[in-house]
Amino acid sequence: KASDPRGIFKDSWYGGQSGEQSQWVNGESNGSRIENIDLVMVEQPSLKLLITFMVDGIPVSRPPVLEVSQMNSSELFPYDVFFPVGQATEVSGQFSYQLKREPLELRLLPLFPSKPSSKIARKESSEKKLVYDPETDQWTLVASSSPKMDLVQMNGNLDLTLDLDDFNEFITGSYFALSDDNQTTNQSLEDSNTVSGSVISFDGSLLANAGIEARNYDTGITFTGRTDGSGKFLFDELSSGRWSFMASPPDGFTYRLLADSELYDLELTASSEMQMNLVLQQANLIGQAAFSDANGYYQKPKLGWCWVVPSLNQGDSEISTAGYFMNLDQAGRFGMRLPQGQYDMTLEVFSRSGQSKQRNFSFQIINPNEIKVLGGGLSASWPKVDGASEYRVQRESHFNGHYETLHVFEANQSSGSFDVGPIANFHEKYRIQAKAKHKYNNLSLVEKYLSMKSIPILGSLQEEGEINESNSSTQMELESIPVYMLSSYDLEQLSGDQNLTDGEYSVIERFDEENRSIGIFIEPVEEVFDPYDFLGNPDKQYALSADVNDSIPTDLTYYEDHLLFEPDIGIGVPIIDFPISEFEISGFVYDQNGTLLSGIEVLAFDPWNGTLLRTFSNAFGQYGLSVGPGSWELEVGSIANAVRLPRTEADSVSEFEIPTVPITGKVMVDVSSSESIESVDFMVNMGAESILVLGQFEHLSSSESVD
């Protein structure tokens, strides 16, 4: 791994391209000149994916976008996507991709021609994606919102051929649906101009699925498009005049350090063909917003935006007052490139249950080449280390090589999160110190552990007793020995045994006949009932277990501290957390005969903020909606996809009660934090021809028809 002079991490897998070149760097240390340090990219196990794209047997020149889903344990939402760039091979229509050799899922996104944003109709855009199943070696058409399949480990290289014409719904309205002569109605106009090119990252990588926007200065007409699977774009319906072009990064963790490009201006004349490359900038302000419920679970915002303006109190009239705006990506991330100055930022997010939250920040950009992170909670993950007593998450301080501890996790944890403040530096160095537990060879160390853990004392051992060890015995005072409630985790720390259960124990040091210590032992105890305790003494009395084999020796193994660094540990980006309260409204949908219906649309509308939520009854006739506090109008929407569900013996028509719904068909439901939600059922009149008649046919064979 290497970084450039600005400290930007060079990932050889960035954008799906591999880098094998070494580079020379110079540095100084303690006044001595260090020269000619050869840094070579670290190669990771990889596989080569070859896909030959065709439409009705004809090879394509512009590939669709390949979406690769992978796991990222350091991220808030571990499933993440990136869009590797396909490199054209010598075979017509064939593109090569370099992928990590780890579990993944492959999907294809349709490629749409650029259009004015005001004319983009939803019905013209396919809502389907193609998913590859390696077990059957088949592509399947699925909804864009469908959950991801199980990630599959691809162990060898793949060579696939795909004819997109086999999936008509996938290419509907797309670039591939155009006629073979590549002529369109608008292209035949004399005043039609073509602008093509590529979108490139600041480190030189091509980017697939990047957004591009072209705007006419005179008319304000805006065309939008995206780069194809090879990182190229094409606008072929632009009128003459002065146009501005701007590119934006794709969604996904891989692209979080990218910001929108600067504006590029072009003057187009009649029937001109021009080429240009749009370069995305390095972001110096990044962050991620997420909602958290009462149980501590996170969910992605449905949508969100952020607006940054220079602070009014800077007192410099030469500083631009222009604002910076951007929408959050599908995981709630944002990235901007800001010049030096003091700024105020407003961040607003909207949940899927119709709630909106807003937060304001004030910050300063001193060095535009340093990356600031807005957030609060920092997540970390690490591999467990044998013999660790705790894990300390540490960050390098202002003094090079010196680390400060940010948070301490117990030894039974391998991940966690904690608060680090609203603003942090992205390129800070982190490590995790696996602090070794003590060699518990004396009683004071065990007592120190129990004291530091604040483990309460339940009582003490009863009067005098005799502790046996093989053929030797020692008489000792037991009244002063406390009894503790020890968890399996505490027992593992003290003994090294992972199979012990929670219980009541005492810790005793044993001695031989010559009064020499033979070890520290954790002894199971039993509570003793005192029949003469008429005053109800609250101090419980315990006795040692009768079975001497129950004694547990303490761990005498010597362990050493371990330091863990990236990439062995995962440090996530701090999260901007928005607490949220959600409530569930659910119920069943029947027809007039009491038959459950699936595919019925149910709508919920909040008149206060205009939020409209929709869902459909499932294969059991049940629907569910997550809503925020407020008053909601519930009603049945479309019944075009209604399906009557088969009856079971458990269904009883005689017990069916028609739900009470007002004549308007709407049900008002008031939701607050102090109320529970009652279920709301609906009855849908499916027409007189569907009335259920109870009875049976006699003397009727399966081959006869019934009128």
What are the structural domains, with CATH classification, of the chain?
A: 2-40 (no CATH), 46-177 (no CATH), 186-282 (2.60.40.10), 285-371 (2.60.40), 378-437+565-577 (no CATH), 443-553 (no CATH), 581-690 (2.60.40.10)
Residue 538: pLDDT over 60: no
Q: What CA–CA distances, in Å, run from 110 to 128, 161, 385? A: 8, 16, 46
Residue 519: pLDDT over 60: yes
Confidence at residue 197, expressed as pLDDT on a 0 to 100 scale: 94
Lowest mean pLDDT among 98-107, 179-188, 357-366, 429-438: 179-188
Preceding amide of 567 cis, omega within 30: yes
Confidence at residue 701, expressed as pLDDT on a 0 to 100 scale: 62
Higher pLDDT, residue 660 or 523: 523
Distance CA 542, CA 527 (A): 4
Residue pair 12/100 in contact (Cβ under 8 Å)? The answer is no
Crossing angle of helices 488-495 and 443-452, rounded to 10°: 150
* Per-residue DSSP letter, 188: G
> What three-state secondary structure class fits 201?
coil
In the block, tokens 């006739």 appear at 621
> What three-state secondary structure class fits 165?
helix
Residue 50: pLDDT over 60: yes
Lowest mean pLDDT among 335-339, 399-403, 516-520: 399-403
Which amino acid does the sequence have at 435?
Answer: K
Residue 381: pLDDT over 80: yes
148-156 CB contacts, 8 Å cutoff, 24+ apart: 148/69, 148/79, 148/105, 149/105, 151/69, 151/70, 151/71, 151/103, 151/104, 151/105, 152/103, 152/104, 152/105, 153/101, 153/102, 153/103, 154/47, 154/99, 154/101, 154/104, 155/47, 155/101, 156/47
Residue pair 562/385 in contact (Cβ under 8 Å)? The answer is yes
Across 462-471, average pLDDT: 51
pLDDT in tens, 556-580: 887 888 999 877 888 777 889 888 8
Q: What is the pTM of this model?
A: 0.67
> What three-state secondary structure class fits 469?
strand
Confidence at residue 632, expressed as pLDDT on a 0 to 100 scale: 85
Residue pair 161/54 in contact (Cβ under 8 Å)? The answer is yes
Which candidate, 530, 550, 547, places its Cα nearest to that of 538? Answer: 530
